[in-house]
Amino acid sequence: MNMTTPIEQRDFKIVGKSVRRDDVLEKVTGEAEYTGDVKLSGMLHGKIKRAAIAHARIKSIDVSKALAYPGVKAVLTHENVPRVLHYGSPHPRSASCTKDQYILDDKVRFWGEGVAAVAAISEEIADEALDLIEVEYEPLPAVFEPEDAAQPGAPLIHDVGPGGNLVLDPVRINRGDVDAGFAQADFVLEGVFSGGRPHPAYMEPNVCIADWDGSNKLTFWTSTQTSFMVRGILAEVLGLPLTKVRVLVDHMGGGFGAKQDLFQHEFLCALLAKQTRRPVKMEFSRHETFVAGRSRHPCKIWLKQGFKNDGTLVARDMKLAYDSGAYGSHGPGVTIVGTTAATSLYRCENVRLEGRCVYTNTPINGAFRGYGVVQSYYALDIQMDEAAERLGMDPAELKLKNVVRAGDIAPSGHPILGHGLEICLQHGIDVLDWKKLRNRDRTPDPKRPHIRTGWGIGCEMHGSSAYPGIKEQGNATVKVNEDGTVTLLTGAAGLGTGAHTALAQIVAEELGVRFEDVGTIHGDTDVVPWDIGAFASHTTYLVGTAAKMAAGKVRTAVLERAAMKLQVSPAEIDLSEGKVFVITDPGRCMTVAQAMGPSRGIPAANIVANGTYEPTKSYSFAAHFAEVHVDTETGIVEVKRVIPVHDVGRVIHPIAAQGQIEGGIQQGIGHTLTEDYVIDKKTGRSLNAGLVDYKMPLSMDMPDIETIILEAAPDPGGPWGAKGVGEDPIIAIGPAIANAIHDAIGVRFRHYPITPEDVLKALREKAA
């Protein structure tokens, strides 16, 4: 452990225990209210007319038939909505974005983009009215691949931005002397890596409801990770003060990062409600979550690295090209984070990186768990395996030699305080008896001679918080009620991860009350403190620290009040499990309720405190060990066993942390083997925008997962050293699988998803 700041140790009563989640009863009984469950009197239903062309100018839109259709109350087109250029990704503190979106434009930039919206008395009527809208298009030449879009003379998708279909100026990072590094190298490896377009496919499709009251105030229910960003951009685009926009979100059925944009349907819903003076609901179909939602950026990576014969890495030259789709969304953030991540993971003093993000006429790519890093670490980790092969070395040994260590500068540019990758790798090697596994008998089972088995390792590191790209701030308000119960107010969204439970655990632990006595209020921008949003694996780290700070303040106030009542000085008493007692005489005590409540001549106390925390960043680490079975006749790869070893600092809720890891592995297996949202490269049409042909692994496809969570490298920036865990597992599993496939059949894949056809084709090429 490498600590520069001491982390408070204590005999934990609540933190580190898998307490019953505060939302579990409502969820299992079906009582939990999701946005789609909200029903308002007189509510209309909105639907969006989507373009069946990838790039075009709208010559005319005739909505007369739709407007005349019985039950239709309003139709919006680019001709009657405010024309305000805005960001798709609502991070106003991030300077990298270009405003490139209108609510509706006279141009279509991808197949499936909304060109008009209808509100009607039923969903069916709204849907039927869409067919009555007649749009005449002037087709424009379209580009579907970043390499084509980046060619000089390629059709331009936007008039704004740096030009040449670039979403932002190329991100360039230079450290050391790369040419001198290559000159020292004993050998150089070069490879082209590429990633498909996985889609998060959260269970709850995007949905929102807009309602304007008599004072011209908008109440807006929406399934979002960033309710304050939604409030801010809606207010800006609609020209309203923040007091006139209230955003509500209670339970969510997932988001995985993708629900942190401001979506076209959200503006349209608010405008339809305004025009009709009635509440309007808009809910995506599953098809729409694909075409109008957000997916991971497809990426192409050119990676060249120089090595010494002892395995030392001496130079890294890497170019990355991310496909943004038709709008910028999180393209800038993903490019910056994914490119800078490649300064690290495996140590190298001489690094030259160039990341680009390019517009194409395809559906929008956005934030998604593993934010740009899934792509870049897939390349780095696989090439490290290739180097081990070239050196005749055990990949575990080579990775252990090169992994990032204490004293190294993080991709964010600041020193990491809790380093855990070396520990994770070594732990997995020991637990699995890796050397023995490597040297196992590889004779195929005579009963299944077509099956080959393989083991692989994937490594990753990932930051909690988006620092330095975004200067983050976490806020919490804690109130103590007169009966001794405690209320936490937080703006952090509950995507379904159990984040609110973790925050309540932190408050109860710090304050010294029972977990059951802490209630959480969230999801109402008129009530809770400002929040940046739930993303970047930061809720427990960032908001958890703010909640701990607020709880610490109210604890002091409670102790002062109790001291007065017990007629001792605050220094003489302590507070634990809801009881205040004199340290030297624990018999002299009172409950928090007694301390807070009224007594003769003294009114009940009103104790409220805020915590505000502006962190830098912590890093979490993982090494995944995966076993695959490859069917050499069908090309099917089955992941049989995964041993994920994670370091996440102090664990707040072990079962929730384990759930994050298992879920990330499931999603990562999908990315690596079966999931790819396919866009037809001739027309731009989506070929599998639905769950029939977009193949997510299901329970039957899951391997045995034996999760190991270490608490060896806490970071002083988080509550008692806690760090993030949300994104990490999806990053390490991909290269672990690709490396295991190589171990099984001796074929090196440098792309995902690795399909059965790819495997079969490669096996035949190898045999030929």
Partner 1 sequence: MRRFEYHRADTLEQASRLLTDLGEDTFVFNGGTDLLVEIRERLRRVRNVVDIKQIPGLSDIIYDETRGLTFGALVTVGRLERLALVRQRYPNLYAAFASLGSIQVRNRATVAGNVCRASPSADTIPPLIADGAFIHIYSRTNRRVVPLAEFFTGPGKTVLAKGEIVTGITVPPAGDNSGKAYLKHGRRKAMELSTVGVAVSLTMEGGLCDDIRITLGAVGATVLRAPQAEAMLRGTSLDAATVKNAANKAMEECTPISNVRASADYRRDMVGVLTGRAIKQALEAFA
* Nearest distance from C-beta of residue 113 to partner 1, angstroms: 19
Q: How far apart are CA 36 and CA 442, in angstroms?
A: 53
* Nearest distance from C-beta of residue 401 to partner 1, angstroms: 37
Interaction of residue 130 with partner 1, rule CB under 8 A:
no
Interaction of residue 124 with partner 1, rule CB under 8 A:
yes
Interaction of residue 701 with partner 1, rule CB under 8 A:
yes
SS3 588: strand
Contact stretch for partner 1 (CB under 8 A) within 119-127, 489-497, 541-549, 713-721: 119-127
All residues at 6 or more sequence positions from 386 whose CB lies less than 8 Å from its CB, including other chains: 189, 191, 748
Interaction of residue 304 with partner 1, rule CB under 8 A:
no
Interaction of residue 160 with partner 1, rule CB under 8 A:
no
Longest dimension (CA), the chain: 94
Contact stretch for partner 1 (CB under 8 A) within 74-82, 526-534, 561-569, 752-760: 752-760
Interaction of residue 695 with partner 1, rule CB under 8 A:
yes
Angle at 185 between CA 180 and CA 186, to 5 degrees: 155
Identified binder of partner 1 from the candidate list 25, 180, 604, 687, rule CB under 8 A: 687
Please name the residue ranges forming H helices in 439-539. 499-511
Cross-strand bridge partners of residue 219: 211, 246
All residues at 6 or more sequence positions from 461 whose CB lies less than 8 Å from its CB, including other chains: 344, 345, 404, 421, 619, 620, 621, 622, 728
Q: How far apart are CA 343 and CA 485, in angstroms?
A: 48
Interaction of residue 633 with partner 1, rule CB under 8 A:
yes
Interaction of residue 685 with partner 1, rule CB under 8 A:
no
Burial label, 403 (beta-carbon count in 10 A; 0-12, 13-18, 19+): buried
According to DSSP, residue 473 is labeled -
* Nearest distance from C-beta of residue 760 to partner 1, angstroms: 7
Identified binder of partner 1 from the candidate list 475, 477, 674, 739, rule CB under 8 A: 674
Interaction of residue 704 with partner 1, rule CB under 8 A:
no
* CB nearer to partner 1: pick between 582 and 678: 678
All residues at 6 or more sequence positions from 682 whose CB lies less than 8 Å from its CB, including other chains: none
Interaction of residue 444 with partner 1, rule CB under 8 A:
no
All residues at 6 or more sequence positions from 36 whose CB lies less than 8 Å from its CB, including other chains: 204, 205, 207, 223, 283
Q: Which helix (H) or strand (E) holds 594?
A: helix 592-596
Q: How far apart are CA 221 and CA 214, in angstroms?
A: 18
Interaction of residue 692 with partner 1, rule CB under 8 A:
yes
* Nearest distance from C-beta of residue 46 to partner 1, angstroms: 16
* CB nearer to partner 1: pick between 298 and 697: 697
* CB nearer to partner 1: pick between 692 and 767: 692
* Nearest distance from C-beta of residue 39 to partner 1, angstroms: 18
Identified binder of partner 1 from the candidate list 9, 151, 174, 634, rule CB under 8 A: 634
String of contacts with partner 1 for each residue 49-78, x by CB under 8 A: ------------------------------
* CB nearer to partner 1: pick between 498 and 635: 635
Q: How far apart are CA 651 and CA 710, in angstroms?
A: 9
Interaction of residue 26 with partner 1, rule CB under 8 A:
no
* CB nearer to partner 1: pick between 698 and 768: 698
Identified binder of partner 1 from the candidate list 23, 106, 128, 524, rule CB under 8 A: 128
State the helix-helix crossing angle for 264-276 and 227-238, rounded to 10 degrees.
60
* Nearest distance from C-beta of residue 61 to partner 1, angstroms: 22
* Nearest distance from C-beta of residue 285 to partner 1, angstroms: 8
* Alpha-carbon separation of residue 61 from 51, 72, 282, 685 (angstroms): 12, 17, 22, 21
* Nearest distance from C-beta of residue 698 to partner 1, angstroms: 6
* CB nearer to partner 1: pick between 148 and 701: 701
Cross-strand bridge partners of residue 585: 582
* Nearest distance from C-beta of residue 382 to partner 1, angstroms: 22
Count of residues near partner 1 by CB under 8 A: 25
Identified binder of partner 1 from the candidate list 690, 704, 746, 766, rule CB under 8 A: 690
Contact stretch for partner 1 (CB under 8 A) within 230-238, 508-516, 685-693, 736-744: 685-693
* CB nearer to partner 1: pick between 237 and 673: 673
All residues at 6 or more sequence positions from 571 whose CB lies less than 8 Å from its CB, including other chains: none
Decide the pairing of beta strands 637-647 and 704-705.
parallel
Q: How far apart are CA 697 and CA 328, in angstroms?
A: 29
- Asked if residue 444 lies in contact with residue 452, where contact means CB atoms within 8 angstroms, the answer is yes
Interaction of residue 123 with partner 1, rule CB under 8 A:
yes
Q: Write down the residue that tokens 């298992």 correspond to.
A: 662
Radius of gyration of the chain (CA): 27
* Alpha-carbon separation of residue 711 from 34, 399, 409, 480 (angstroms): 35, 21, 21, 32
Contact stretch for partner 1 (CB under 8 A) within 27-35, 268-276, 692-700, 710-718: 692-700
Identified binder of partner 1 from the candidate list 150, 156, 678, 710, rule CB under 8 A: 678
Interaction of residue 289 with partner 1, rule CB under 8 A:
no
Q: How far apart are CA 481 and CA 347, in angstroms?
A: 52
- Asked if residue 194 lies in contact with residue 671, where contact means CB atoms within 8 angstroms, the answer is no
* CB nearer to partner 1: pick between 175 and 287: 287
Identified binder of partner 1 from the candidate list 698, 765, 767, 768, rule CB under 8 A: 698
* CB nearer to partner 1: pick between 311 and 753: 753
String of contacts with partner 1 for each residue 71-110, x by CB under 8 A: ----------------------------------------
Q: How far apart are CA 508 and CA 577, in angstroms?
A: 8
Interaction of residue 449 with partner 1, rule CB under 8 A:
no
Binding site for partner 1 (CB under 8 A): 123-124, 127-128, 287, 633-634, 636, 673-674, 678, 687-688, 690, 692-693, 695, 697-701, 756-757, 760
